[in-house]
Amino acid sequence: MNDILSRRGFLRSSALSLIPLQAFDVVQSLARGQQGDSLAGRGATGTLRDPSVIGRPRRPTDPKENDREIQAIEQQLACNCGCTLDVFTCRTTDFTCTYSPELHREVLALRDDGKTAREILDTFVAKYGEKALMAPKPQGFNLWGYLLPGVAVGGAAVILAAVLRRREAATTNATAESSPPQVAASPEELERLRHALEEVKD
């Protein structure tokens, strides 16, 4: 029955959960400071005490990984691990993914073969299907995807403008028919009115 919390324990847990949220960081950082000695590696390039807890071993960075063109290509390619990220973001974020580093190597190999960005993207589409691209090509049925929102908003705006114009005309006519004869205000009166309106304008 040790795992049943005492009433005091329950209240303490509840109170802790109500600590202002910023305090969590403070509490955590304090706690971190009290958690044992550092187990640093040995020497300038010493080995780690437990490399298994650090995730998949990494290769040294290839200079091409900072190549803007390579990054731009990879940002147009979807990782196929199911993460919904592009290859560049996945391989530099989700370090447990084994797919994105492999896709990255494919991009580098195609680049080394002298292929252009367009050809690399086409190669990926040929190999993995259209889902390899982060956004579908704007052609065929996909054009609907790109154009429909704009067309819908534009069309609705045109219709709305036409309806409003018709109603405006109807209202103007009705007002003209029903309104009493207009009496012109003097410039002083108009100025007073303008000031008054400015002050009460909502």
Partner 1 sequence: MTLLGQFALWAAFLLGLWCVTIAFSGRWRRRPELSQSVIRSVYAVCGCLLVASVALWKGLISHDFNIEYVAAYTSRNLPSYYIFTAFWAGQKGSLLFWAVVLSIFAAAAQLLTSRRYAYLMPYVAGVTSAVVVFFVGVMLFAADPFERLGFTPEDGRGLNPQLQNVGMVIHPPMLYLGYISITIPFAFAVAALLSRRLDTGWIHAIRKWTLVSWLFLSIGITLGMWWAYVELGWGGYWAWDPVENASFLPWLTMTAFLHSVMIQEKRGMLKRWNLGLIIGTFLLSIFGTFITRSGVIASVHSFTQSNVGYFFLAFLVVGAILSFTLLYTRWSLLEAEVQLESMVSREAAFLFNNLLFVGIAFSVLWGTLFPILSELVKGTKITVGPPFFNRVNVPLGLLLLALTGVGPLIAWRKASTANLKRQFIVPAASGVLTLVALLALGIRDLYAIMALALAGFVAGTIMQEFYRGVRARRRMHGESTPVALVHLIGRNRRRYGGYIVHAGILIYFVAFAGMAFKREREATLKPGQSVELSSPFGHTYRFTHVGISQYEALNRIVSAATVEVAKNGRRAGLMSSEKRQHVDSFKRPTFEPSTEVAIRSNLQEDVYIVFAGAVNGTEEAVYRFNVNPLVWWVWFGGLVLALGGLITMWPGGGPLAVSTRRVQAGYEAALVGAAKE
Report the site for partner 1 in 133-162 (rule: CB under 8 A). Answer: 133-136, 140-142, 145-146, 148-150, 152-153, 156-157, 160-161
Among 60, 114, 181, 187, binds partner 1 (CB under 8 A): 60
Say whether residue 72 binds partner 1 (CB under 8 A): no
DSSP class of 150: H
The nearer residue to partner 1, 107 or 132, going by C-beta atoms, is 132
Decide: 128 and 134 in contact? Cβ < 8 Å. no
| The one segment of 107-115, 116-124, 168-176, 179-187 that binds partner 1 by CB under 8 A | 168-176
Q: What is the CA radius of gyration of the chain?
A: 33
Judged by CB under 8 A, the chain residues 172 through 201 that form the site for partner 1 are 172, 175, 198-199, 201
In whole angstroms, how close is the CB of 49 to partner 1 at the nearest point?
5
Among 8, 29, 38, 182, binds partner 1 (CB under 8 A): 38
| The one segment of 5-13, 107-115, 116-124, 177-185 that binds partner 1 by CB under 8 A | 5-13
Decide: 97 and 78 in contact? Cβ < 8 Å. no
Q: Could you tell me the CA-to-CA distances from 112 to 83, 116, 120, 183, 184 in Å, in that order?
A: 27, 10, 11, 83, 82
In whole angstroms, how close is the CB of 171 to partner 1 at the nearest point?
5
Decide: 80 and 103 in contact? Cβ < 8 Å. yes
Say whether residue 123 binds partner 1 (CB under 8 A): no
The residue count for the chain:
202
Give residue for tokens 């802790």: 16
With 0-12 CB in 10 A as exposed, 13-18 as middle and 19+ as buried, what is 107?
buried
